[in-house]
Structure formats: structure tokens, C-alpha cells
Amino acid sequence: MNTFLIILIILFIFANYIVFVTLKKTLAVKKNVFTDYAAISVIVAAKNEGQNIPSLLKALSSQNYPADKYEVIIVDDNSEDNTYSVAKESAKQHPAYSIYKAESKKYAGKKGALEYGISKANYTNILITDADCQPSGEWIAYFAGKFSEGYDIVFGYAPFFMNNSLINHISCFENLRAAFLTFTAAETGFPYSAAARSFGFKKLSFEKIEGYKNTTETLGGDDDLLIREAVKNKMKIGTVMSKEAFVYSNSVNSLKDYLRQKSRHTKTSVHYLLSRQVMLAIWHGLNLFFLLSPLLAFIYPGFVSLFITKLILDFVLVSSFSGKFAYCFRVFERVYLQFIYEFFIIINFFNAAVSKDKW
């Protein structure tokens, strides 16, 4: 039994070491210095986002990038509020900003609105964010640097603003742990997921994989399933991980909204490539086993060592990188939020099986 536990601990330490080293390396990457600025089309699908559009456009107009080298396209997806009129009014002082209504869509939900906006794009490099987001000033510049390196798809990091609510801290912690995995996986050659709040691709690459045509298994997945298709076509996928390019937004405010949001994400994960599903199953299964190992102490007391190992490694990872990922958790939070995070993985799995999504 001791040999079995030692092997498990060594494997777990090694896996966490890979995450630690990869994140440290990724965070050290600097912005490309270039003089040939790539032309960028920023596409935003907006539904009932009238109150958020002004701050988004303000953030986009404040980009440290030549104004004649990027355009902004807002697609109002049949909003029931004043999204369209607010967007039109806010964009008046920006001649390169265009506002459309998604009156006819090829695909349901957000994918249809995005595809409509992409069809209107004048430039060959596409950036996507959400209407409730606030991109940092170097967002476009960092992505342009990646496009200049020949990447087909690029994704960045999108943290939530922190406040004092428990749901916000749960959302932030989950976002942090998810980022650990997605960036590590992408940088080690196994990309599987990204945040649509900070996502980009070359239009020719998008067209090569037939856009969203092969990603209609779920209402969501305009980011993850596009990455899946890119992997199938052996495309070059890169990341942007710099605080100057973070894209901020507010988290959900209630448990109901959190469960609805995670339900969409979990349903999409069922359609990942099999190799990615196996990788994630092993990672999460191992973490849950280590977390629950004290329950087996009545069989053999040594099982508690798995729990202690996980507690230490989780604490080290979060303590080492949470600040770099725009979060600040108190010492006690770094412990109990890890428990909540792991248990919500189980809850979200079963919730996704019975819930219905909508855009």
C-alpha cells in the first residue's frame, strides 16, 4: 500500500510541477516589438447589453494601438433593451466603429451573431470580446504581436473584478484554477479551451475550418469548439498572458447564475476531443481522489498523506500565481475555496445533464 501511495504522490507532484513551470514561463513572455501594425477587426456580439456598451467602447477607444489600424463591429443580437441605440450613439465619434443588427443568422445563439459580424469585417485578423468586458490598453497590441508570429488562433486571460461576495470569490477562484489548466495545456501542446472574452484568430484560418459550421453541438462553445476544430486541422494556437492585455469583466451575482454559466461550459466539454476529455478526467479525478482520501483512512491511515500533499501543492500554486492573475485571496480562502471548487466540479457535471441553456 505504501508503494501505491508513493507512486500516486510522485505523479501528483510531477503534474503540479508541470503546471508551475509552464505558468512561470508563460508569464515571463514579453510583448513583441514591431513597426508593421497588423490591421485588426474587433467583433462583439451583444444581447441586452445597453448598460455595458459605453464602458466597452471607451476601453476599446483607449487602446495603445494606431486608430487607423483597427475597427470595432458591434452586432446587436435581437436585444430587448436599448443596446442598439446606445451602441449607435456611443460609436458616433468613432468612424471605424460599426453597429449592426443580426437580422438573419446562420447559427443559433452567440455563434450566429459573431459569424454575422465576422462577415462584415474589413480586416484579416479578428479579435472577439464580450459586451460587458473592459480590455486593458495593450490588448490589441499583444494579439497583433502573436498574429505577426504566424499563429492561427490566440487566446488571452480574462479575470473577473473582485468584490466582497462569496459567489464572486467562488467565480474568481474557479476562473483562476481554470486558467492554470487552459494555459498550461495550450503551452504544452494540448489546447482545449479558452475564454471568449479574449479570443482571436486569422479570418483565413476561420474560413478554412468552415467557421462555426462544425461547432453546433451546443449553444455555447464558440471558443472551445473552435479550438477543437483548429487542433483537428493542425493549426498554430498561441496564448497572451500579460496584465497589460487582460480583459476584465464582472462575475455573476447569484448562485443560480453561476450554475447556469457553468452548465453551459460543462456541456461544451463533453464535445472536446477524446484525448482532452481523458486528460481532464485524469486530472480532476486525481484531484478529487486526493481531496477525499481521508475517507479511506479507516482502511489505511496512510491515505491521509494524499490529502496533505494536495493541500500543500494547491496552496503553493494559488499563493504563487494568484497575484499574477489579478486576484488576491486571503490565506484561509486559498484553502476553503479549493474545497468548494472541487465539489462544484461534481455539482456542475450533474447540473449540466439536466439543465437547458439559452443565449
Grid cell, residue 172, equals 474568481
Q: Tell me the one-letter amino acid at 115.
A: E
Question: For residue 300, what pLDDT is reported?
Answer: 86
The rounded percent of the chain whose pLDDT value lies above 70 is 96
Average pLDDT (119-139) is: 96
Instruction: Encode pLDDT of 227-263 as tens digits.
Output: 999 999 999 999 999 999 999 999 998 998 898 888 8
Question: For residue 54, what pLDDT is reported?
Answer: 93
Q: Which residues touch 248 (CB under 8 Å, ≥6 apart)?
A: 133, 134, 135, 136, 158, 159, 160, 161, 326
Question: For residue 35, what pLDDT is reported?
Answer: 60
Buried b / exposed e across 313-335, counting CB within 10 Å, b at 16+? bbeebbeebbeebbbebeeebbe
- 10 Å CB burial of residue 49 (0-12, 13-18, 19+) is buried
Question: For residue 101, what pLDDT is reported?
Answer: 92
Question: For residue 78, what pLDDT is reported?
Answer: 87
Strands 133-135 and 125-130, sheet pairing: unpaired
pLDDT for residue 335 is more than 80: yes
Question: For residue 191, what pLDDT is reported?
Answer: 96
Alpha-carbon distance 36 to 85, whole Å? 35
SS3 99: strand
Domain architecture of the chain: domains with CATH: 31-165+191-251 (3.90.550.10)
pLDDT for residue 359 is more than 60: no
- 10 Å CB burial of residue 250 (0-12, 13-18, 19+) is middle
Instruction: Encode pLDDT of 64-96 as tens digits.
Output: 999 999 999 999 998 889 999 999 988 888 889
Instruction: Encode pLDDT of 299-315 as tens digits.
Output: 888 899 999 999 999 99
